[in-house]
Amino acid sequence: MSAARAPVAAIVAAEQHSMASSARWLLFRNRIKQFWFEVVIRHPPFQGCGERIAISWTRASASMQCRRDNMLYRGQHIVFRQSKCSGMIVLSEKREKAMADLGIRVVSVPDRALKAYLEERCPAIDFVLWDDDAEPSVRDLSVIDAVITPYAHSSRTVERLASLPRLKLVQTQSTGVDNLLGRVPPGVLLCSARGVHAASTAELAIGLAIASLRGIDVAARNMSRGIWQEERRLTLTDRKVALLGYGSIGQELHRKLAAFDVETIRIGQTARRDEHGDIHGIGDLVGLLSDTDILMSSLPLTPATAHLVNWAVLSAMKDGALFVNVGRGGVVDQDALAVELYSGRLSAAVDVTDPEPLPEGHPLWSAPNFLLTPHLGGNSSAFLPRIRRFLAEQMTRIGDGRPVVNQM
């Protein structure tokens, strides 16, 4: 390994994209043929840290190649320690071929309208109906290569996944896949509908915040009792908002909130920088809350985020602060939230709970300063046209032998 190290200035940009995004490249300013960097591999096949990997730049294709032990890999998440720059390198020909050779020919869909829509647009795929209210035929079970699950992750469909001998891919219609993790057979690809619900869910989060701050829920209850009560309430304008979670929903929230003249703090699962500035890591959460007016969570439920918003987080929020949750209910310690609400110190407006629905007699049903909607975030008029376009594109990718997107 005698090749000289490249200067830090050689790195121009690294766009962070899914491993399935085969059209994004890491580009270099200098005409460098080969150099070495210390890298940390974040995804298989390498799990080691600080391995030396040759990074080659081919001008003809403007592509990056990582070589180790004479094997070509592209698509591994690497961190350039010298340049503090991270990103995704595109898939290798070997990886793309493996994905193209999934052999998916028959895909089950949960309703007739979706089946007709996809058949018209994706002629390379055979679609069979798997209505969750009816059992599929033995023949269908034996030939299904991929399953598009019902929107609500119906347990009947999910419970039958292990009985599909040819199953290679499960495609959900939701952003979160927490209730499918551990239930999809080993070796089967799981893909989410990340991005489909972002606009609708972000819209609801802002609506919940405004309704709570301006007392719209209180006015609605007063109206039913014939009460006219004037009072000065808070506005969303000029508030300091912390966005907990910076995936597709968090990014959409950031974009929409700009119209309200708010100060936003972004908190992702990992610390990083982008064109808008710093994104804090979750480890910084408690320290950022003392002067934050609104905490909006759009986090998915994972082992790392379960009960992340606990007593320590809630107690760090300033008096009179508002908590909004449109991610997953399991991210929040419901008992700790109830204690803060009954104390009168905090307000909350949430679209998700744990469990769903809340059981009869749960303290949150009658908690003061609490606004609850029944998981409406992605369930809007925007859902149907957007999910259909997304699924048609995903199925077209499969039919064309191109990599699928939103792999979990």
Give the tens place of pLDDT for each residue, 146-182.
Answer: 999 998 756 788 888 999 999 999 999 999 888 888 8
Q: Is residue 405 part of a domain?
A: no
Q: Is residue 1 part of a domain?
A: no
Q: Is residue 278 domain-shared with residue 208, that is, in the same domain?
A: yes
> Is the Cβ–Cβ distance between 327 and 298 less than 8 Å?
yes
- The tens digit of pLDDT for each residue in 379-401 reads 999 999 999 999 999 999 999 98
- The tens digit of pLDDT for each residue in 324-366 reads 999 999 999 999 999 999 999 999 999 999 999 999 999 999 9
Domain of 171, in residue numbers: 102-196+385-400
Q: pTM for the whole thing?
A: 0.73
The pair phi, psi for residue 153, each rounded to 5°, is 55, 50
For residue 382, the model assigns a pLDDT of: 96
User: Pick from 39, 73, 98: which residue ends a domain?
Assistant: 98
- Residue 402 DSSP symbol: P
Structure tokens at 189: 């690809």
Q: Is residue 312 domain-shared with residue 224, that is, in the same domain?
A: yes
The pair phi, psi for residue 259, each rounded to 5°, is -75, -10
Q: Is residue 26 domain-shared with residue 73, that is, in the same domain?
A: yes
Distance separating alpha carbons of residues 383 and 175, to the nearest angstrom: 12
For residue 176, the model assigns a pLDDT of: 87
Distance separating alpha carbons of residues 100 and 391, to the nearest angstrom: 17
Q: What is the mean pLDDT of residues 134-150?
A: 84
Q: Is residue 28 domain-shared with residue 113, that is, in the same domain?
A: no
Burial 51-67 (b: 16+ CB within 10 A, else e): eebebebeeeeebbbbe
The pair phi, psi for residue 170, each rounded to 5°, is -120, 125
Q: Is residue 157 domain-shared with residue 92, that is, in the same domain?
A: no
| CATH code of the domain covering residue 146 | 3.40.50.720
User: Pick from 39, 68, 98: which residue ends a domain?
Assistant: 98
For residue 73, the model assigns a pLDDT of: 33
Q: Is residue 186 part of a domain?
A: yes
Q: Is residue 298 domain-shared with residue 354, that is, in the same domain?
A: yes
Q: Is residue 124 part of a domain?
A: yes
DSSP codes joined into one string, 219-267: HHHHHHTT---------STT-EEEEE--SHHHHHHHHHHGGGT-EEEEE
Distance separating alpha carbons of residues 322 and 318, to the nearest angstrom: 9
Q: Is residue 66 part of a domain?
A: yes
For residue 137, the model assigns a pLDDT of: 72
Q: Is residue 380 part of a domain?
A: no
Element at 204 (helix H, strand E): helix 198-214
Q: Is residue 314 domain-shared with residue 202, that is, in the same domain?
A: yes
For residue 156, the model assigns a pLDDT of: 80
Which long-range contacts (C-beta less than 8 Å, at least 24 apart) are formed by 215-221?
217/371
Q: Is residue 226 domain-shared with residue 311, that is, in the same domain?
A: yes
Q: What is the mean pLDDT of residues 117-128?
A: 96
Q: Is residue 186 domain-shared with residue 259, that is, in the same domain?
A: no
For residue 325, the model assigns a pLDDT of: 99
- Residue 332 DSSP symbol: B
Q: Is residue 244 domain-shared with residue 358, that is, in the same domain?
A: yes
- For 12-16, 313-317, 379-383, 394-398, which range has the lowest pLDDT when averaged over its residues? 12-16
Q: Is residue 26 domain-shared with residue 122, that is, in the same domain?
A: no
Q: Is the pLDDT of residue 56 over 80?
A: no
For residue 153, the model assigns a pLDDT of: 56
Q: Looking at the annotation, which residues are catalytic? A: 328, 356, 375
Task: Give the end-to-end CA distance of the chain in Å, rounded to a whole number.
Answer: 35
User: Pick from 55, 71, 98: which residue ends a domain?
Assistant: 98
Total structural domains within the chain:
3
Structure confidence at residue 261 as a pLDDT band (50, 70, 90): very high
Distance separating alpha carbons of residues 275 and 16, to the nearest angstrom: 12
Task: Please provide the average confidence, as pLDDT, over all residues in the chain.
Answer: 79
Q: Is residue 271 domain-shared with residue 331, that is, in the same domain?
A: yes
- Sheet harboring 370-372: ordered strands across? 263-267, 240-244, 294-297, 322-325, 347-350, 370-372
